Structure 1
Amino acid sequence: MLSRFFLTLKICWHYLVLLIAIAALLYPVYPALAIIPAALFLFTLFFFRNPKRNIPGNEQYILSPADGTIMAIDEVIEDRFIKEPAIRISIFLSIFNVHLNRSPLSGTVRYRHYRPGKFIPAFKSHASDINEKNFIGIESDGFKIMVCQITGFIARRIKCWADNGQILQSGEIIGIIKFGSGTEIFIPIGSKINVKKGDKVKAGETILGILPDREMEVAK
């Protein structure tokens, strides 16, 4: 509990300090106006919350890397890391979702790349093509998965805490996108998909699918 709260403070302490300072300046002169930064203080704690997640113990699962709503599931050519056709699952995060990103499975970070871009609303279909992005490629038992953090109109700061060569555990926190955004995950063709467009998902908890050739192992 305390460790989760300390992570929240680590992420947003500068916002909290600023809001406390504004409230302290306003209260002696305009007490009613001091309610505004006080309310924003509480909202900031809510926005950057780090709730406990029940991470499935089965290592065969591909977990959601983000909270939000499934916007699309399609097949694309992923030419950065996987370098072959892949299934892309796009997740939109509203301002009310938890914005921490989590590793979809256990593995090793083999690729990281930051791409500058624009900041159009993340729910627009072409946002993925032109918005600022950060790519995280993970290899697990020969399979390649890639997570893509995408900024939006409000979300203009990507934080990634996963480094090249780092070994990740399934559901481990790997970054955050601040204030409304999108996340994509690219998984191998042939993976069993357990979600559909419109589904609500939770990072590190919702099972998006199972990697190819592992479905029989899960059934045992």
Structure 2
Amino acid sequence: MRKQFDQELNELHIQFTNMGVLVSEALTKSVKAFINHDVTLAQTVIDDDQIINKKEVELEEACAKIIALQQPVVTDLRRVVSVMKACSDWERMGDHASSIAKTTITVKGKKRISHVEALLADMAKVVIEMANRVITAYTLADIEEARAIAELDERVDNYLLQITQFTIAEMKADPKVVFNGSGYITVASDVERAADYITNICERIIYLKTGEIVELN
């Protein structure tokens, strides 16, 4: 029975990791689409969001099945609950990637602000790095790495502030960029929220390893 249970837990973590990879790819594609004005790539991200949603449902069902049939002890229960909560964070990040893609389609052809797009690209690199690192940290239950990843969230917040302030100034100076300016702020907010959800997963890693509920934000 224990061997079967361990196999089910291992499969759960594999599925969770696969979902994280899908979300990281969605974020990468959505920002690339926005920066390159690539409507076709943006539509791909929107279409693929249903795959991420399906993964979340499958993971939640697998977690519920393990809890109901295996009646795990406290340590194992933490592992299952951590996956159940963290997969919701992945799904929400996928939603933000889809939101960025939708904004790409909306602002296509409007006047752009190259400096803001450069800042957005740099901001997204930090968040995608966070996403990729947190997958490994979760797999290894590495709480020190989890804390280090969460600290990057402050850099992301600073990018959001810079982008918002610069964009508002440009919108005041040139009415032609007002429409796109709103889009920039929306995209930057989506990227920032993705970083927040990654920080949530970092908190899950610490809970998984220690049983302690911490706030890293």
> Structures share a fold, TM > 0.5?
no
Q: Which has the higher helix share?
A: 2
